[in-house]
């Protein structure tokens, strides 16, 4: 029992299938670790009675003959997914204590698969940020170095998996919010094709970008969880109608002959030497496995940051208009008329980063600026997506760094939003194009902080991407490294 926290989800599934451990035992072990490591601030809401009820239900299902590979495996949800049994706050005072009357589709599907929820995970407020310093309930600490940020916005998800508090966590990616924290904390983080996971029940930030995904220890775990998560949802107008598929089906196939595109733009000015060295060594591992490295060029990816910070704030300003203190959420106690109530409620309930993005988004959507900024940004977004398609004409996947540097210190960029935004330099282009991408641990850089390798695939090619990641992890052990004090 003492080593269960070090097991992957796939390993735990096999233990459950053999009857060597029960779901309730696993849940209790995880809840104990969560309590012992509360200083990380990874969890916002833990309700042991709800967790143990799900674990006992999973044990009953298994006793009745159900052998689902996710049945009884512990996990936790980013606090962007609404849940009936836990508070759903988006890490904002605006929604503090809010209980949803329904579960998000992602929550619903993993619950149907029998996964056992451990609670809700901290994040940047309304998923806006690259460091998890924007949470209204305090920053999450990086288990590898508690002076460092864990990355954002899914910092709670990444830190919880890295610290072995849970083997699986859901997350969301709008401009890199799965891949960046996965890289900063040395875990595996996967974002599927936009539209494959349902957005129904995800608290919206930027509707044309928000994508649900997972944080896990291994690519194998990510493949199994994504298989249970993805699928058409008629309640989501952006959901892609495709038949279910097993994302793990190609994991054991060799990468011999796989063409890996290496964009020269991902290795230019701004990339830290320690990150470049780790990524280059990872690419050399692929060559040793028989893959072919292909030089490609994606010249328009440099425009990803300015495009993203027009499109995303514009959509955020629209989505966050619903938080007005009228129907639900924070309402000011001292106000004059209705307009004053709305102003005061939003001023009190929203943090600095959501306010900043609302102001920027409202500006670019205003009369006289809509065509000059928003429409132009959408046109450049199409150029970036088309450029990826030209790249995939000569390769099967694209590889490069996830971030320009290893995790920075808490507070280091707090007074410089532009520097914070540039942390997403290599992740934003894939989000704008809506293509699947992931971060795989590939080494350590300055101050022994983790480095991630980014793998990017074409639309609906999650299985190819996960196969490449799994084969890399069979050849390396970076994903098995555990932060000091958490083994």
Provide the annotated active-site residues. 78, 153, 177
Q: State the sign of the Cα–Cα–Cα–Cα dihedral 49, 50, 52, 56.
A: positive
Tokens (6 digits) for 63: 């006793």
181 neighbors 174 (Cβ within 8 angstroms): no
Tokens (6 digits) for 253: 């196939």
Q: How far apart are CA 10 and CA 54, in angstroms?
A: 19
Q: State the sign of the Cα–Cα–Cα–Cα dihedral 459, 282, 441, 123.
A: negative
Cα first-last separation, the chain: 13
Q: How far apart are CA 419 and CA 421, in angstroms?
A: 5
Largest CA distance in the chain: 70
Q: Sort strands 116-121 and 43-45 into parallel, antiparallel or unpaired.
A: antiparallel
Q: Which of 61, 53, 105 is nearest to 83 (CA)?
A: 105
Distances (CA, A) of 150 to 32, 123, 409, 449, 473: 22, 10, 9, 10, 22
Q: How far apart are CA 157 and CA 94, in angstroms?
A: 21
Tokens (6 digits) for 84: 């009936």
Q: Which residue has the tokens 């936009």?
A: 194
């Amino acid at each position: 029992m003492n080593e269960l926290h070090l097991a992957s989800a796939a390993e735990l599934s096999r233990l459950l299938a053999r009857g060597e451990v029960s779901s309730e035992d696993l849940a209790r072990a995880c809840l104990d670790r969560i309590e012992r490591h509360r200083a990380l601030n990874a969890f916002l809401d833990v309700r042991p009675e709800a967790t143990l009820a799900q674990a006992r239900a999973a044990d009953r299902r298994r006793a009745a003959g159900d052998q689902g590979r996710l049945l009884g495996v512990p996990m936790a949800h980013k606090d962007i997914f609404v849940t009936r049994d836990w508070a759903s706050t988006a890490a904002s005072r605006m929604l503090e204590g809010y209980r949803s009357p329904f579960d998000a589709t992602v929550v619903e599907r993993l619950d149907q698969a029998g996964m056992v929820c451990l609670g809700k995970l901290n994040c940047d407020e309304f998923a806006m940020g690259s460091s998890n310093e924007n949470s209204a309930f305090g920053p999450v600490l990086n288990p590898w170095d508690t002076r460092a940020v864990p990355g954002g916005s899914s910092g709670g998800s990444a830190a919880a998996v890295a610290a072995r508090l849970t083997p699986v966590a859901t997350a969301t990616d709008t401009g890199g919010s799965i891949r960046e924290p996965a890289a900063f904390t040395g875990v595996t983080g996967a974002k599927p094709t936009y539209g494959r996971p349902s957005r129904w029940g995800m608290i919206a930030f930027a509707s044309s970008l928000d994508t649900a995904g997972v944080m896990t220890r291994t690519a194998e775990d990510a493949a199994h969880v994504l298989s249970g998560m993805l699928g058409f949802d008629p309640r989501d107008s952006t959901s892609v109608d495709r038949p279910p598929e097993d994302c793990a089906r190609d994991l054991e196939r060799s990468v011999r002959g796989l063409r890996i595109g290496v964009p020269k733009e991902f290795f230019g000015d701004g990339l830290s030497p320690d990150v470049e060295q780790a990524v280059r060594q990872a690419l050399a591992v692929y060559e040793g496995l028989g893959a072919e490295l292909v030089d490609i060029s994606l010249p328009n990816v440099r425009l990803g940051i300015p495009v993203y910070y027009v499109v995303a704030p514009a959509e955020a300003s629209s989505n966050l208009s619903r938080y007005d203190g009228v129907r639900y959420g924070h309402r000011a106690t001292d106000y004059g008329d209705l307009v004053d109530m709305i102003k005061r409620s939003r001023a009190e309930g929203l943090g600095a980063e959501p306010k900043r993005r609302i102001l920027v988004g409202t500006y670019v959507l205003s009369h006289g600026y809509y065509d000059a900024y928003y429409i132009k940004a959408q046109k450049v977004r199409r150029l970036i997506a088309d450029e990826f398609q030209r790249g995939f004409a000569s390769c099967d996947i694209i590889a490069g760094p996830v971030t320009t540097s290893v995790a920075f210190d808490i507070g280091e960029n707090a007074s410089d939003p532009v520097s914070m935004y540039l942390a997403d330099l290599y992740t934003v282009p894939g989000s704008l194009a809506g293509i699947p991408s992931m971060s795989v641990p590939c080494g350590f850089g300055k101050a022994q902080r983790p480095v991630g390798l980014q793998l990017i695939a074409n639309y609906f090619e999650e299985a190819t991407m996960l196969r490449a990641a799994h084969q890399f992890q069979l050849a390396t052990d970076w994903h098995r490294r555990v932060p000091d004090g958490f083994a």
